[in-house]
Amino acid sequence: MEYLDTSHFLSLPRPSAGDFHAPIVDTTTLAAHDFDVDPRTGFMPPHPPVERLLSLEGQNYEHWEDLLTQACAADLQIADKEGGLTLEEERRSEQWRTTVRMATPHLIYNPFAQIRASTSKGSLCPRMDNAFLHPYPAHLLPRNSHSSTCNASALTSLSRIAASPVLTYSDDVLYNWGIIDTTNASSSPFGTIDPQNLRVLTTFTSTPSESHFYLTSARIELIGVRALSLMQSTLDELFVGDAIAVRRITKYLNQLGSTDVSGSTSGRGIIGEMETELNKMTVGCDPQVFYEQIRPWFRGIDSSERRWIFEGIEMDERLEEPTELSGPSAGQSSLIHALDVFLGVEQYSHSRTLTGRSSITSTPEDERPNEAIPEASSFLSRMQLYMPRHHRNFLTHLQNQNTKRSLRALVFDALASAGISPTGTASSSTSITVSSNSSLSPSSIIDTDDALNLLSAYNTAVMALKKLRDSHILIVTRYIIGPAARAKRSQQQAQQDDEFYMNAEGVAPLRGSGGTELAHFLKAVRDGTKDAVIAP
């Protein structure tokens, strides 16, 4: 009997209870649904999440839903907003917190049951934590902010399913949508849910800008479904690895990144369509509303001066105080990570040097709360800990595939087979050989045109991803860096303009919701993506 290699996907161990950090595979087949990746909706669930979870597996969730509904109706405000809270706003927030304190000892929160129902919406517990903490006036706070809703019992269940105890991108985007016109739910020409037929279930501010912000990301996720399909087709062809497979992979890469592709609604390739949708952020999301009213709700422990305490954690010796408590971030999108891994960009964009931190800090190192994250971990690698467990497993699967048959290696192997050096010059030198662990089949001979076409298609896809990150930088500049600079100027503490602010030295850096030093980090990831281009 021939045994599987120990690194083979099917040989990986099943997850153990409480192992939050290890991205261990929990599946017995290679079917996409084992990773919660649907062929019609990608990383989003195939059916609209339940809008209101009343009862499940004998447990009543209606009281939790009532508390969240009350929080939304109370129009809670961020405590450190400009000008501070009015007495009425303080009264409303404290009244809601009192209701929570009185109710939570009698309520049982079981994320197991909620997540077991794949149609449930974003976790109630983390969303209520944000509503509990962020409106808390500073003069009423103890030295440490307390999280009274996500207590030790909830942490126990969350750790067993390897779920984050804080609000994440998946809570705000993947599991926070419904259908506008249910009679026309699947009207997309590609057989997926129509991206324009979505609505948002829950927001903190009840503003159209917040809804549009979430919907833009959700629509990008749905556009990316076709990219996931092309990835699967490419992996299948990599397994074959002959000259025909090279031509087919070239076609798939052109569909992914080309600027002139039939079948693409924008004529820009699928990644280009994602960029186009990202740029539509400006249509319905007001930059000032986002910066002043929406973004503060996303702050986690590493973008806030407040420390979070999970009450009752000392009562269970099996529990450790969570250290990964960053806020929701676009860096938590499994789709973008999948593109990085698939194209072989990950080794550049996920470099361990890209931690999102520099030597310039606004808070002394020994005073930074809960900062126990190892510097050796890149920011984007850390963000995988905030993804749904099965989506992390999907990325692990892609990474494992790359160790055996990677797309990037195929490009080099095809060039070598055609007698072309990595610089693109033809050569008859016998020193140009295909690697011993080549992605090509042993009998394959790739001609010069096919090899150069593959190289061109690959580089075009990488550059399309780089352009997507260019647009993301522009969006971040308009919605975060620009408003932050204007706010600084109004206090006579800013630089002269937004561009100078982005490149200033010796200035306390602006942090993203995930805790990164925003401008420097985003530009480094963008430049790292460009570095993955194979010079022709």
Q: Are strands 198-200 and 177-179 parallel, antiparallel or unpaired?
A: antiparallel
Q: Which long-range contacts (CB under 8 A, 24 or more apart) does 283-288 make?
A: 283/212, 284/208, 284/209, 284/211, 284/212, 284/215, 285/209, 285/210, 285/212, 285/213, 285/216, 285/479, 286/209, 287/478, 287/479, 287/482, 287/483, 288/483
Say if residues 398 and 227 touch (Cβ distance below 8 Å).
no
Distance CA 244, CA 276 (A): 32
Asked whether residue 472 is marked as a ligand-binding residue, the answer is yes
Distance CA 309, CA 497 (A): 39
Say if residues 348 and 381 touch (Cβ distance below 8 Å).
no
Measure the N-to-C terminal CA separation of the chain; round to a whole number of Å. 46
Say if residues 515 and 302 touch (Cβ distance below 8 Å).
yes
Helix 243-257 vs helix 407-417: angle between axes, to the nearest 10 degrees? 130
State the amino acid at position 83 in one-letter form.
G
| DSSP bridge partners of 310 | 147
What size, in residues, is the chain?
536
| DSSP bridge partners of 38 | 42
Say if residues 420 and 447 touch (Cβ distance below 8 Å).
no
Q: Which long-range contacts (CB under 8 A, 24 or more apart) does 226-233 make?
A: 226/190, 226/192, 226/255, 226/270, 227/256, 227/270, 227/271, 227/274, 227/335, 227/338, 227/339, 228/37, 228/42, 228/335, 228/338, 229/39, 230/255, 230/256, 230/270, 231/338, 231/342, 231/398, 232/32
| Residues tagged in the binding site annotation for heme b | 472
| Residues tagged in the binding site annotation | 472
